[in-house]
Amino acid sequence: MSEEAEVLFEKRGVAGVITLNRPKALNALTLAMVRLIHPKLKEWAADESVQCVIIEGAGEKAFCAGGDIRALHDWGRAGDPSALAFWREEYRLNTYIKRYPKPFIALMDGINMGGGVGLSVHGSHRVATERLTFAMPETGIGLFPDVGGTFFLPRAPGETGMYLALTGARLKAADAIYAGIADSYVPSGRLETLKDRIAGGAPLHEALKEVAEDEGPAPLAAMQDDISKHFAKGSVSEILASLRADGGEWAAKTAETIETKSPTSTLVAFRQVREGAKLDFEECMKLEFRLINGFIKGHDFYEGVRAVVIDKDQAPKWKPAALAEMKAGDVDSYFAPLGAGELTFD
């Protein structure tokens, strides 16, 4: 396979290795990549010579910086069915990874955001390096934390998931492990050793134990009391009021951050995280597909991508422009069932 291929597949000893191969685009995920990865995973699931799967990103900067948002913006604007096809097939892939019958080892080295999270966090073994920068930044581009965020965010300690959903905060390795997004810390310089040991048939727990190190203290753990105090409130408006009344610098900055996000996105994300706590994984993914159907018919996704990705002026003009202009019921339509259009699984 040529080096220009967007995904590389290799059988290395007993391991199937997937390499996301768009390093100049920070390995951003395309529809074509989804359509290559899913059938290969099925093939390897049935192949007795493949005992486990490793997924990694090419280059040193990123595992995967997210979905190919520019393409999704352009498809959505044009009414091209490829946009919904991407999310439908991506969510099915996320679900397949979650229930994969063999060990699935994600090497989260570098930037891992959005769509990349969906390729990694649902695996059985999530490895973080010192270069990991994790985030679910979707509310800042007029979307919501998807690719299974409905499931894993409410299951993070305390109100950590709500904090991450509304702020898009970036995490390093220790915080990712604390939040349940990663399992072990391995310095990037030892990943090749880890892959060699796994490919050579070493038991996974032994291979990881040989190269893993203590991740150190998690700043999120020290912030947990403050996060829970504010983010346990019953609405986004109440969270913001609590943060503003706090008087501290962190609380003030956190409120300012949330207020830069799409008001529609923050209302949806709040309800999404609360509802996700009560749903199983497939129900969460079905809910996300309902939500994305609403967002691609709206305004804020296109405006967010314009401001952040296309024009890069970082000054999105959201509609509605402020939470004060919205009521909780304004986002009810996003959560409505799709009938025959619901997400289905293999």
Cα 43 from Cα 50, distance rounded (Å): 10
Edge-to-edge strands of the sheet including 111-113? 62-64, 111-113, 133-135
SS3 109: coil
Contact between 243 and 251 under an 8 Å Cβ cutoff? The reply is yes
Q: Could you give the CA distance from residue 202 to residue 199 in angstroms, rounded to a whole number?
A: 7
CA distances to 99, 164, 208 from 205, rounded to whole Å, are 20, 30, 5
CA angle (63 as vertex; 58, 66 as ends), nearest 5: 120
Beta-ladder partners of 53: 16, 104
Q: Which residues pair with 111 in a beta bridge?
A: 62, 133
At 185, is the secondary structure helix, strand, or coil? strand
HSE of 122 in the Cβ direction (CA atoms, 13 Å)? 28
Whole-angstrom Cα distance, residue 316 to residue 139?
12
Catalytic residues: 67, 115, 138, 146
**SS3 state of residue 72:** helix
Task: Specify whether the CB–CB gap between 181 and 225 falls below 8 A.
Answer: no
Task: Determine how β-strand 111-113 pairs with β-strand 15-20.
Answer: unpaired
Q: Length of the chain in residues, anyone?
A: 346
Encoded tokens for 282:
């497939």
* b/e sequence 217-230, b meaning 16+ C-beta within 10 Å: ebebbebbebbeeb
Q: Return the structure tokens found at 161.
A: 């998931």
